Amino acid sequence: MATTAVVPNPLREGMRMRKTPDPCAIVIFGASGDLTARKLVPALFSLDRGGMLPPTVAVIGCAKTPYSHEKFREAMAAAIHKYSPETVEDAAVTDFLRHFYYLTDNFSDVKAYKQLTDLLEKLDKEGVAQGNRLFYMATPPSQFPVIVSHLNSAGLAKPKDPGKTWTRIVVEKPFGRDLTSARQLNSAVLSVFSEDQVYRIDHYLGKETVQNLLVLRFANGIFEPIWNRRYIDHVEITVAEDIGIEGRGGYYEEAGLLRDMIQNHVMSVLSLVAMEPPASFEATQVRDEKAKVLRAIRPFDLDRLSEFAVRGQYLQGWVKGQSVPAYRAEPKVSPTSTTETYAALKFSVDNWRWAGVPFYVRSGKRLAKHISEIVIEFRRVPHMVFGKTWRDSVEPNIMSVRIQPNEGISVKFNAKFPATTMQIRPVKMEFRYADSFGVEAPGAYETLLLDCMLGDQTLFTREDAVEMAWELLTPLLERWQQDGAGGLAFYEAGTWGPAEADALLARDGRHWHRL
């Protein structure tokens, strides 16, 4: 049974109804990198086509690659044609790129920031940026303190005309690699910028279905009252990828799955599932409630770690009909590596709403399919009136929130099968964005970049949330490092992970749901 939207408005209508951002200059450090070409510039182009950019906006790329303004525009034009989800005309792209500029920039060179200051002043005098500046850190985290320090020395970190203009900085993940480094990074950024200027971006929170989770919970009287321990048995969060490390062996050996996916994406989603209703959908109040969830999560008992955590690494296997190598056979990976490419964890949220409800999370590389989904399993009815035959065979009700691909929500409930005898079968009611609204959901970076320009921090990670997530996971990382190969489970590429992850739930009389 498919749902149909009552009012057939396009998804973008809500964005168009929002306040138009102020004219500004967007300065992208690391602009010759993959993120700018694949995500940032195509997202800005989509916003422009939708009439959601300011009346005037300039984009200044800064990187070591020796581009001229024209070469940068040509590279970005090619990126738009390649990565934009829609067919675009050359004239529209050329017009969009008129206010794109480029500075060949060694991030540690004081002269580069003088050139940047001069260009920004020129754009202000021309009425293009009007004193508003958004600095985007599309660089490795090691460059953040250097850039922040030079922006401060150049006088670019504070608003040009406080109260009338604004200055903001966007920081890409990873936000550190453990608790100590996260605190150092936050300290470096916040020594120059105030917290209300800092936008720690996690693109996962920009996904339409993740945001719709809040609407599902807090705008529906049929769901809000049952979102608690009285009615929910457990929660599963899965972020699965069928790809491997894609030639990033050096990076992945240093990072691992827990740092790469769970500390940011998964913990953010968990906090949205578990948070209390905020008084209003306002940035400070939403982020306060998310932080309370992280504060309530029970630390891992390291003496009983196997009851709460599984780490795995993929072996040679088959994905989409093709043979793929083991992780240890990937380029730039140690043949004796103990880096995890899979992790499954059991969290307990020690508060009134969730006491006794386990949150099982899992994420991994080279799994059976590419999918991100939240599964809510509700408790069984207290008494089955249809007789002993159905007491244990009737399936529990399930709500599935699909984040990607094919974004949507499904609810599984039980119904009588047409027959002369009592036969109960599970059925599904499904909602899909593309079917119900007739348009694709806007990209995550479209939403988040627009929020940056509008000054809306609701979907961005706050300093305390970053550090609390690391406070939970750093002891686990340190223990796994100490254990080395001990406790490392293996799984064939193309499967759903190691058997130990199934045992994690089986110990509680549960199982991972089929996605």
Q: What backbone torsions phi and psi does residue 477 show, to the nearest 5 degrees?
A: -60, -45
Question: Would you state the pLDDT for residue 444?
Answer: 84
Which residues make beta-bridge pairs with 481?
Answer: none
Which distant-in-sequence residues (6+ apart) come within 8 Å of 109 by Cβ? none
DSSP of 83-106: H-SS---HHHHHHHGGGEEEEE--
Question: To the nearest whole number, what is the mean pLDDT of the chain?
Answer: 90
Question: Would you state the pLDDT for residue 47?
Answer: 93
Look up residue 351 and give its two tokens: 């508060």
259 neighbors 177 (Cβ within 8 angstroms): yes
Question: Would you state the pLDDT for residue 10?
Answer: 42
CA dist 245 and 295 (Å) reads: 32
Look up residue 156 and give its two tokens: 């670019």
In this prediction, residues 35-43 reach a mean pLDDT of 94
Question: Would you state the pLDDT for residue 391?
Answer: 64
Question: Would you state the pLDDT for residue 213?
Answer: 87
Question: Would you state the pLDDT for residue 173?
Answer: 82
For the cut 50, the answer to whether the pLDDT of residue 9 exceeds it is no
Look up residue 72 and give its two tokens: 């940068």
For the cut 80, the answer to whether the pLDDT of residue 425 exceeds it is no
CA dist 42 and 86 (Å) reads: 10
Which range, 145-149, 378-382, 384-388, is most confident? 145-149
Which range, 238-247, 397-406, 423-432, is most confident? 238-247
Q: For residue range 303-357, what is the model confidence (pLDDT) as tens digits?
A: 999 999 999 999 999 999 999 999 999 999 999 999 999 999 999 999 999 999 9
Residue 410: count other Cβ atoms within 10 Å of its Cβ: 18
For the cut 80, the answer to whether the pLDDT of residue 279 exceeds it is yes
Q: Which domains does the chain have, with CATH numbers?
A: 13-173 (3.40.50.720), 206-443+491-506 (3.30.360.10)
How many CA atoms within 13 Å lie on the side-chain side of 139? 24
Backbone region of residue 271 per phi and psi (left: phi > 0; alpha: psi in -120 to 50; beta: other values): alpha
For the cut 70, the answer to whether the pLDDT of residue 388 exceeds it is no
Looking at residue 185, its amino acid is: L
CA dist 91 and 498 (Å) reads: 52
How many CA atoms within 13 Å lie on the side-chain side of 431? 17
Question: Would you state the pLDDT for residue 387?
Answer: 65
Which residues are the active-site residues? 265
Query: Residue 35: helix, strand or coil by DSSP?
Result: helix
Which residues make beta-bridge pairs with 162?
Answer: 165
Question: Would you state the pLDDT for residue 385?
Answer: 67
